[in-house]
Amino acid sequence: MSAPMPGKARLAMYDVQQIRSDFPILARSVHGHPLAYLDNAATTQKPRSVIDALVRFYEHSNANVHRGIHTLADEATSDYERTRAHLARFIGAPRPENIVFTRGTTEAINLVASSWGRPELNPGDEIVVSQLEHHSNIVPWQRLSAETGARLRWIPLLPDGTLDMAAAERLIGGATRLVAVTQMSNVLGSIVPVRELAALAHAHGALILVDGAQSAAHFPVDVQDLDCDFFALSGHKLLGPTGVGALYARSSLFEGMEPYQGGGSMIESVSLDGSTWADPPAKFEAGTPSIADVVAFDAALSYLEALGMDDVRCRDRALTTYALERLGTLPDVTCLGSSNPDLRGGNVSFTVADVHPHDVATYLDFQGIAVRAGHHCAQPLMRHLDIVGTARASFSVYNTEEEVDRLVSALREMSQFFSAPAARAVSAS
């Protein structure tokens, strides 16, 4: 794909206003200002089609899945499994059975740590992660290392916030059992060369797990092309409901893994002497799942497919380029991460000189602009960058250049406010 034109020329090719009309929440005001929602890395807003699908399920087909033989149970099961097949196609999985529904990326990664890692890892084995990772792709491996005696190794970063692939090649070796990396940083937006890391891991007999919580919402994903062994994602970052996510794994891995939880639906038979397990994916979906949320997630996938994930990536790259250009005009603002739009997605973290990120977010909120502030569940990365945190503007399909202009204008006004003597005195107190 050729590089997009920067700024307004490229964005004018998209009917963003038509897209925005599909999202009811974008019509509201906050503190007397139109809402500019720039916190999509935390969660995206939902189109009317997703909201309607959620309501329609509860009004028309609400029943438990995989148990009943009555009409509502059959409809609920059919809708639930339709989403599984749809998601498999969306990420390029070979079969619906390669998809296990979870509550989100965090639970998916914990499932792998528990069901694959606990029986497989021994003292002296190594898990390779990167300094970019969200806590969800750090803490489970730290706990697993403490339990098994395995060792964590860290891929460092280059000055532009991308992975040091030369260091990765040195770190991944004969003791490596798993490489666990994000595909796109939730802080810097850095896009990780997963395919190269997969080749390094597989050359040494190791597996690779990909945290796709951010990437799946910003550009096309094909797990077979990536050659990954595990891929985790969250529905709520893909315009879908909260409380639903998924884990992709190769069939042979699911077949060899023990269940994550025990209970209803995941069994083949139960006796007083013991139990046997159902085939995957049922083996990993104990109990009643978030049925309505899974069913509504199907509508979110359809919405993104109608836009086209290649076009989503083009818009994302163009808007990120525009944001970096405009923020770069502010002398007190420092944007973190690569300036190359091909190496990053639409998460733009920045600091403002002499202003705490929480103060930045509070000031912007009073202008109707929603951004995230803090360490973004990436404290090791913040320590590497030697900062307490950042403010972060993150984009989705409905964001506009006008919202970026509002952000820049508010930041300029904020810098003038905090530079005033009275404001400095209040801040110091």
Secondary structure class of 153 (helix, strand, coil): strand
Helix spans in 91-245 (H) = 105-112, 118-120, 139-148, 165-171, 194-203, 223-226
Long-range contacts of 307-312 (CB under 8 A, 24+ apart): 307/19, 307/397, 309/219, 309/220, 309/221, 310/1, 310/219, 310/220, 311/14, 312/218, 312/219, 312/397
Q: What is the pLDDT of residues 314-373, one digit of tens each?
A: 999 999 999 999 999 999 999 999 999 899 999 999 999 999 999 999 999 999 999 999
Report CA torsion sign: 156, 230, 42, 140.
negative
Query: Phi and psi for 178 in degrees, rounded to 5?
Result: -150, 135
Q: What is the pLDDT of residues 245-283, one digit of tens each?
A: 999 999 999 999 999 999 999 999 999 999 999 999 999
Secondary structure class of 338 (helix, strand, coil): coil
Q: What is the pLDDT, as a whole number, of residue 68?
A: 85
- C-beta of residue 385 within 8 angstroms of C-beta of residue 305: no
Active site residue 335: no
Which pairing describes strands 245-249 and 230-234: parallel, antiparallel, or unpaired? Answer: antiparallel
Q: Which amino acid is at 131?
A: Q
Which residue out of 228, 314, 335, 377 is catalytically annotated?
377
* Count of positions (residues) in the chain: 429
Burial of 133 (0-12, 13-18, 19+ CB in 10 A): buried
In angstroms, rounded to a whole number, what is the distance separating the alpha carbons of residues 115 and 362? 42
- C-beta of residue 349 within 8 angstroms of C-beta of residue 187: yes
What global pTM score does this model have? 0.94
Q: Which domains does the chain have, with CATH numbers?
A: 7-30+308-419 (3.90.1150.10), 50-304 (3.40.640.10)
Cβ neighbours for 118, distance < 8 A, ≥ 6 positions apart: 144, 147, 148
Beta-bridge partner residues of 294: none
Q: What is the pLDDT, as a whole number, of residue 421?
A: 56
